[in-house]
Structure 1
Amino acid sequence: MNSSISANEASAPIIPAWRAVWSLGLGVFGLIIAEFLPASLLTPMAESLGVSEGVAGQSVTATALVALVTGLLITSATKSIDRRWVLMFFSVLQVISSLMVAFAPSLHVLLMGRLLLGVAIGGFWAMSTATAMRLVPASDVPKALAIIFSGVSIATVVAAPLGSYLGSLIGWRNVFLLCVIPSLLALLWQLRVLPSMRPENSGSLRTLVRVLRRPGMMGGLLATILIFSGHFAFFTYLRPFLETVGQANVETVSLILLGFGVANFVGTSIAGHLLARNLRLTLALVPLVMGILALLMVVFGHLALVDGLLVTLWGFAFGLVPVGWSTWLATTVTDEAESAGGLMVASIQLAIGAGAAGGGAVFDLNGASGVFTASGVLLVAAMVMVFAGVRVKPEAVE
């Protein structure tokens, strides 16, 4: 075993800090709610700001692009700062971001708020795996990551359907005001339970390059880009598709999004069992299934009942994605967790930005059906990339 891995294991606590782990789960719950809200409020946001839905969808792009850069630079930019304070700062940024969006008089101010959210999301995800490794013993790291990812799943259940439903009752701006609450609670909790965590490495850009050059790493990151591009092209423009093609009203859209969220939670909950049986096969089959579902939406999208079933299945499949690729990362790069996490975050956020931006362009030209067709093609290509260029066993580090 190399010295880097030994150092990481030595820093793991004997007694797990489960309250700290749960506080991070609440923090990520607040971040993901804020990130996902535009998908369920895109139509009223566009109408209020006087822009097209395609342009309003760029609020997702702005967040993703900043998260991309933050994921790459956060480790080196905060290399001398206690991780406790860095993690709490992300909750502060979410609160400021949501307030800016809620009171935004124009698209430009709204985008500025979404940029701050991008900093918080990119930074948190870059440090999440490494932080879990420092809060609990090595044997409990999978459980700690599952708790943190449960915040994502619950946010997925809550954000889309409640965002759509509450938006019709109290307006989209008030929904963003409510979004402040979980991050404020997380901040207070983290202030109480997060231990001091001094930086353990330099986090240099040279380290990022070394990690990127490891065998199989590039293939995994490319597959991740294809999967998340396909998903966010699909999800960002799901509501316009359901309203225009499926002729669904607000209540129906809310129910369909609720089905997506519940199924996503179920998928996340059983992901560990499937991944333990066959990691590579699971990583490959999930995007294939999602691609087929996207193409079926194009064919049968005029049937609201079928839409609900397909979107629910999509939610289940996507629930496997974050856990699957985090597991792949944990078994591939165990000695540079923050740097590898930064690369993964950059890949995912690049994909989100590409999916939202490309989806917006396709939407304005060919409608939501064109977006879903492109999404399906990207996801099938991801399946091919998993088989062709992804390694699932850790490489020896010199």
Structure 2
Amino acid sequence: MSSEAGRPATGPHATTREWMAVGAVALGTFALVTSEFIPVGLITRMSADFGSSDGATGLMMTVPAFAAAIAAPAVMLGARRMDRRIILCLLSALLVISNLVVGYAPNLGVVLFGRVLLGIDVGAFWAISSIVAGKIAPSASVGRASSIIFAGISLGSVVGVPAGALIGSAFGWRTAFESVAAFGLLVLVAQVTLLPRLPPSEVVTMRHLAAIFRIPSARLGLLACFLAFAGQFAAYTYMGAFLEHVTKMQPAVLSSLLLGYGVAGFVGNFVGGALSQRGPRLTYAGAAAALGLSVLALTLGGQSQTVASIAVLAWGCAFGALPIATPGFMARAAAKELESASSMFVSILQMGFAFGAFVGGRAVDSVGLSATLSCAAIATIATGILIVRFGRIDEGRVDGDVVFE
């Protein structure tokens, strides 16, 4: 059956139209990441306009993460049998609305309301987009399709966030959010035009969500996801500060290296996609362990700009592979609860994001940059060890029934 009927073509490889549909979803991930992280370069200007502290304005980063953690399973529960194509398009429309709310906000309270809307969008969009590649493309092309969809994460960091900061500097922070809203409208048009019908794999209920936690490998996968992303964001939030204060990098060199981090992540997306198609468990474990080892190398040899640069580029590549490897592992671990597993994965990921950023901030204030990054590195290395030691997914059972083979 063709993708026009909402299922992948029977041919071994995706058609041009299927690749265009994958591209439309990838544009959505790019717009979403840009929207989520664009405040990083605009907080000072927004604080000055609203007369608020940088810390209070910084809630623009943590509020969406908490909202996304709740929204991922909640939206999937409410969606039931609704065509996932319709949901993706509605979420793209919500992205436009949330950025317009922030762009025209008269005070910080309205800004945070707009960011809550974005958090709902983030949670639901990631929960669906992480499995949509398998609905659009045939099995032989799913790994590459997933890589393209998740490449929006790195591309948003490499292009979207710096572009937003540049627009904000030249034309004001409100114009930056309005520009993202305008781009989101183009994404919406592309998705309405190109996406095929995407029927649900299952009707998600509370029973399905609870079933995920009765699958040993899925349970382990979610724990590993929390540890890996908490470690990532506890460290990543303060990468720039470490390079500035410990490595003593000049601003121009630092900016170039951060750009290199994003480019390396873009490469990691495609490497992770190819490897995950062959071996999701080892790819998941390898990405987490490589991330931790890269951060540890930075803390141990970060006084050298050469060592720091190599460590940061390796870090970027490893983290680029992680968002591909994690859902790949979960898809094998909970093959009969695919959409439930996806929604819980996104929820746990966002919890890890918020927890890591929060705890990292407290740790930096109390024990310093190097110790904080070292602890984050240990958490992600431990993640890799857990997956290798206990993450076999060929014998998983739920209530005596074989769940994956």
Q: TM-score, normalised by structure 1?
A: 0.86
- Paired residues of 1:279 and 1:392 also in contact (CA < 8 A): no
Amino acid at match of 2:114: G
More displaced stretch, 223-232 vs 157-166: 157-166
The reply to whether residue 397 of structure 1 matches residue 392 of structure 2 is no
**Distance in 2 (alpha carbons) for counterparts of 1:334 and 1:231:** 27
Match of 1:143 in 2: 144
**Distance in 2 (alpha carbons) for counterparts of 1:378 and 1:194:** 39
Shift of 1:205: 0.9
Shift of 1:379: 1.4
More displaced stretch, 340-349 vs 264-273: 264-273
**Distance in 2 (alpha carbons) for counterparts of 1:374 and 1:109:** 36
Task: Give the 3 Å change call, closer, same or farther, for CA 144–198 of structure 1 in structure 2.
Answer: same
Match of 1:14 in 2: 9
Amino acid at match of 2:331: A
**Distance in 1 (alpha carbons) for counterparts of 2:320 and 2:101:** 30
**Distance in 2 (alpha carbons) for counterparts of 1:45 and 1:98:** 14
Match of 2:202 in 1: 201
Q: Secondary structure at the match of 2:283?
A: helix
Q: Secondary structure at the match of 1:85?
A: helix
Q: Secondary structure at the match of 1:393?
A: coil
- Paired residues of 1:54 and 1:360 also in contact (CA < 8 A): no
Amino acid at match of 1:177: E
Shift of 1:133: 2.8
Match of 1:376 in 2: 377
**Distance in 1 (alpha carbons) for counterparts of 2:8 and 2:380:** 40
The one-character-per-residue Cα deviations of 1:317-337 (angstroms, maximum 9, x if unpaired) are 111111111221222223322
- Paired residues of 1:20 and 1:194 also in contact (CA < 8 A): yes
Match of 1:212 in 2: 213
**Distance in 2 (alpha carbons) for counterparts of 1:47 and 1:377:** 38
Match of 1:72 in 2: 73
Amino acid at match of 1:95: V
The one-character-per-residue Cα deviations of 1:317-364 (angstroms, maximum 9, x if unpaired) are 111111111221222223322111011111111111111221232234
The reply to whether residue 318 of structure 1 matches residue 324 of structure 2 is no
**Distance in 2 (alpha carbons) for counterparts of 1:171 and 1:245:** 32
**Distance in 2 (alpha carbons) for counterparts of 1:46 and 1:303:** 35
The reply to whether residue 229 of structure 1 matches residue 230 of structure 2 is yes
**Distance in 1 (alpha carbons) for counterparts of 2:194 and 2:187:** 10
Match of 1:4 in 2: none
Amino acid at match of 1:12: R
**Distance in 1 (alpha carbons) for counterparts of 2:381 and 2:53:** 30
Q: Secondary structure at the match of 2:193?
A: helix
Q: TM-score, normalised by structure 2?
A: 0.84
Q: Secondary structure at the match of 1:14?
A: coil
Task: Give the 3 Å change call, closer, same or farther, for CA 290–80 of structure 1 in structure 2.
Answer: closer
Shift of 1:369: 3.7
More displaced stretch, 260-269 vs 111-120: 111-120
Task: Give the 3 Å change call, closer, same or farther, for CA 82–189 of structure 1 in structure 2.
Answer: same
Match of 2:399 in 1: none
Shift of 1:27: 1.0
Shift of 1:222: 0.6
Any unmatched runs of 5+ in structure 1?
A: 1-9
Match of 2:355 in 1: 354
Detail structure 1 runs of 4+ shifted over 6 Å in the superposition: none
Task: Give the 3 Å change call, closer, same or farther, for CA 115–340 of structure 1 in structure 2.
Answer: same
More displaced stretch, 20-29 vs 287-296: 287-296
Shift of 1:37: 2.5
- Paired residues of 1:164 and 1:254 also in contact (CA < 8 A): no
The one-character-per-residue Cα deviations of 1:87-110 (angstroms, maximum 9, x if unpaired) are 111111212222333344544333
More displaced stretch, 164-173 vs 250-259: 164-173
- Paired residues of 2:47 and 2:54 also in contact (CA < 8 A): yes
- Paired residues of 1:71 and 1:345 also in contact (CA < 8 A): yes
The number of equivalent residue pairs is 389
The reply to whether residue 252 of structure 1 matches residue 247 of structure 2 is no
For 1:1-398, what aligned pairs fall within 5 Å after superposition? 12-14=7-9, 17-41=18-42, 55-164=56-165, 167-199=168-200, 201-248=202-249, 250-275=251-276, 278-301=279-302, 306-393=307-394, 395=396, 396-397=402-403
Amino acid at match of 2:190: W
Shift of 1:181: 3.3
Q: Secondary structure at the match of 1:335?
A: coil
**Distance in 1 (alpha carbons) for counterparts of 2:223 and 2:188:** 34
Any unmatched runs of 5+ in structure 2?
A: 397-401
- Paired residues of 2:212 and 2:219 also in contact (CA < 8 A): no
Task: Give the 3 Å change call, closer, same or farther, for CA 51–282 of structure 1 in structure 2.
Answer: farther
**Distance in 2 (alpha carbons) for counterparts of 1:203 and 1:381:** 32
Task: Give the 3 Å change call, closer, same or farther, for CA 374–282 of structure 1 in structure 2.
Answer: same
The one-character-per-residue Cα deviations of 1:356-397 (angstroms, maximum 9, x if unpaired) are 221232234445444323322321221232233322437423
- Paired residues of 1:23 and 1:190 also in contact (CA < 8 A): yes
Q: What is the Cα-based RMSD across aligned positions, in Å?
A: 2.9
The one-character-per-residue Cα deviations of 1:227-264 (angstroms, maximum 9, x if unpaired) are 11111122223334444444555533321221011111
**Distance in 2 (alpha carbons) for counterparts of 1:51 and 1:242:** 28
Which structure ranks higher in relative contact order (CA pairs < 8 Å, sequence separation ≥ 6)? 1
Q: Secondary structure at the match of 2:216?
A: coil
Shift of 1:164: 5.0
Shift of 1:173: 4.1
**Distance in 2 (alpha carbons) for counterparts of 1:35 and 1:185:** 18
Task: Give the 3 Å change call, closer, same or farther, for CA 46–372 of structure 1 in structure 2.
Answer: farther
- Paired residues of 1:28 and 1:151 also in contact (CA < 8 A): yes
Shift of 1:157: 2.0
